[in-house]
Structure 1
Amino acid sequence: MARSHPYNFAHVLLPQLAWRRPASVRRELSDPYLARELLHYVWDKAAENLPAAEKVVPKGLRLSWHEVAGRVTALFHLPAPQATMEAYLSALVYEETDEPANTEAEETRPRYFTLEATLGLSGAGGLPTLVGEWAGEVHRHLGRGPSAGQPETPTAFLDALATVLGPLPDTGVPFMRVVRS
């Protein structure tokens, strides 16, 4: 069973924060100092009501930025899981829009993915995982993920996300609608 502290961080607080204030959180995560402060603040919040024995040190907690299938992606490197449903990595994938939002409520919410520990035998390739996606209150399993515990795991996770996301729509081709009168 997942430990409450890392589960609350990766599956509850981080996505909720990013969805509540998409542009603000993206700006803060883009600044290395603010990103570190924000991540540690949210990490501490995830353990706020837990007994001291259930709190986990944020060893390895960091952020890196990438481009995945033409989309800006914030990749969160999380403390090593010790149980199923805890995440090795998570990612906020930002869909770019040409139209600026007038209010925070109109902003496009990023998609949120996790690379989670799962049951299975570990082999020479690493530990078994699955790729998940949170959309509001709904958590979907998207299938087996790349083996964890390897130096190439983050890149393999981003490759898996590229497959899930697919290419960006080609906006260079005009759209024509046939209307019958």
Structure 2
Amino acid sequence: MARSHPYNFAHVLLPQLAWRRPSAVRRELSDPYLARELLQYIWEKAAENLPAAETVPPKGLRLSWHEVAGRVTALFHLPLPQATMEAYYSALVYEEEEPLETEAEEARPRYFTLEATLGLSGPAGTPTMIGEWAGEVHRHLGRGPGGGQPGTAAAFLEILASVLGPLPDPGVPFMRVVRS
């Protein structure tokens, strides 16, 4: 069973914050100093109501930016998982090139996780699963790359690229569902 502290960070607080204020969070994460401060703040909030014995140090917690299938992607490197459902990495995938100026136009980023799963570790690493959060719905998208290996982050991003697919051609109209 996942430890509450890392689970709260990766599966609850980080996606909720990014969805509540997409453009503001993206701008803050784009600034190295503000990103470090924001991640530390969220990490501390994730442990706020937990006994001291259940808190986990933020060892390895950091952010890197990537382009995945033509989309700007914030990749969160998380403390090493110790149980199932804890994430090795999570990613915010932004469809727009630049943050939008008005809050009303904001599109929520997609949020993915690479989670530890049950199974024996082998030479290829620890078994993992790709997940996507959409609001309160958590979907399993299939097996992920072996966790805890030097190429795990790159392999995770490659799988995300295949899940996302190419961006639609700007000249081709496509349907977008808008909530009212």
TM-score per shorter chain, which class?
over 0.9
1: distance between equivalents of 2:52 and 2:172?
Answer: 57
Letter in 2 for 1:117: A
Normalized against structure 2, the TM-score is what? Answer: 0.93
Q: Which structure 1 residue ranges, 4+ long, deviate > 2 Å from structure 2?
A: 97-102, 172-175
Q: 1:41 to 1:119 in 2, by over 3 A?
A: same
Letter in 2 for 1:129: T
More displaced 10-residue stretch of structure 1: 129-138 or 163-172: 163-172
1: distance between equivalents of 2:59 and 2:140?
Answer: 26
Q: How many pairs are equivalent?
A: 174
1:25-79 Cα offsets, whole Å, 9 max, x none, are 0000000000000000000000000000000000000000000000000000000
1: distance between equivalents of 2:79 and 2:154?
Answer: 17
Letter in 1 for 2:133: W
Could you say what secondary structure the match of 2:24 adopts? helix
Give the CA deviation at 1:123: 1.2
Are 1:152 and 2:147 counterparts? no
Are 1:87 and 2:87 counterparts? yes
2:177 alignment counterpart: none
Q: 1:167 to 1:52 in 2, by over 3 A?
A: same
1: distance between equivalents of 2:120 and 2:5?
Answer: 25
RMSD: 1.6
Normalized against structure 1, the TM-score is what? Answer: 0.92
Could you say what secondary structure the match of 2:132 adopts? strand
Give the CA deviation at 1:96: 1.0
1:81-125 Cα offsets, whole Å, 9 max, x none, are 0000000000000001799453x2430000000000001121111
Contact 2:120 2:127 in 1 (8 A): yes
Contact 2:26 2:99 in 1 (8 A): no
For 1:1-181, list aligned pairs within 5 A: 1-96=1-96, 100=100, 102=102, 104-173=103-172
Could you say what secondary structure the match of 1:170 adopts? coil
